[in-house]
């Protein structure tokens, strides 16, 4: 049984013969050209397909970096401004593919984008309008939400009042309910 990308070596034999009488270089070249793929895709790119497209109308050159927000396990997060727009601010994660792969984070990165894309319309979940990849990096662009992280809030102000904790807890329950509904 032949698979679509499997090469049948019996078919290649006429191309590889070196007989001057039967085959000339034109026939050999045509046969070898027919065996090549048009766009070979490296393994490091294939791992993230089809979720992260290779070419997109939006790319890393569509944004201007304003400042570094944070360093993460797989890369860095920047506050960026979209060029050719009315100064919309976004948060851009630039994740090194080698870090994601070696840290077993492929599924985590794909799930993050899937959740943000599907549930981003909800006020408690950040929208992810753009995501793509190039040879070495994954780009995830989300709406920028200022105010920092909950951990820093706790570190700076200590324990939160009970009423505020109830609000945060209720929001988390709503988010978990949404995730259970969609997934």
Residue 61, phi then psi, degrees to nearest 5? -85, 0
Same structural domain, 141 and 159: no
Residue 78's domain is classified under what CATH number? Answer: 3.30.200.20
18-32, 35-49, 94-108: segment of lowest average pLDDT: 18-32
User: Token pair of 111, please?
Assistant: 């799930």
Tokens of 1: 């049984």
74-95 confidence digits (pLDDT tens): 999 999 999 987 778 999 999 9
Secondary structure class of 155 (helix, strand, coil): helix
The answer, yes or no, to whether residue 9 has pLDDT greater than 50, is no
Does 36 have pLDDT greater than 80? no
Residue 65 has pLDDT above 50, yes or no: yes
* Number of domains, the chain: 3
Question: Do 127 and 71 share a structural domain?
Answer: yes
Domain containing 179 equals 148-183
Strand partners, 140: 93, 131
The pLDDT of residue 2: 47
For the ranges 9-13, 90-94, 174-178, the lowest mean pLDDT is seen at 9-13
What distance in Å separates the CA atoms of residue 68 and residue 77, rounded to the nearest whole number?
6
User: 132-175, pLDDT tens digit by residue?
Assistant: 999 899 999 999 998 888 888 899 999 999 999 999 999 999 99
Please tell me the predicted confidence (pLDDT) of residue 25: 65
């Amino acid at each position: 049984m032949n698979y679509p990308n499997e090469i049948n070596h019996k078919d290649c034999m006429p191309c590889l013969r070196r007989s001057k009488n039967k085959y000339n270089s034109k026939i050999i070249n045509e046969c070898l050209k027919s065996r090549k793929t048009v766009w070979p895709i490296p393994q490091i790119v294939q791992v993230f397909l089809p979720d992260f497209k290779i070419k997109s109308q939006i790319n890393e050159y569509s944004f201007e970096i304003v400042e570094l927000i944070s360093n993460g396990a797989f890369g860095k997060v920047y506050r960026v401004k979209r060029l050719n727009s009315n100064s919309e601010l976004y948060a851009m994660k630039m994740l090194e593919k080698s870090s994601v792969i070696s840290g077993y984070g492929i599924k985590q990165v794909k799930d993050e984008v899937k959740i943000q894309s599907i549930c981003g319309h909800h006020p408690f979940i950040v929208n992810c309008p753009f995501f793509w990849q190039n040879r070495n990096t994954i780009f995830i662009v989300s709406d920028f939400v200022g105010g920092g992280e909950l951990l820093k809030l706790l570190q700076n102000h200590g324990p939160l009042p009970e009423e505020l904790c109830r609000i945060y807890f209720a929001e988390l329950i709503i988010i978990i309910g949404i995730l259970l509904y969609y997934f």
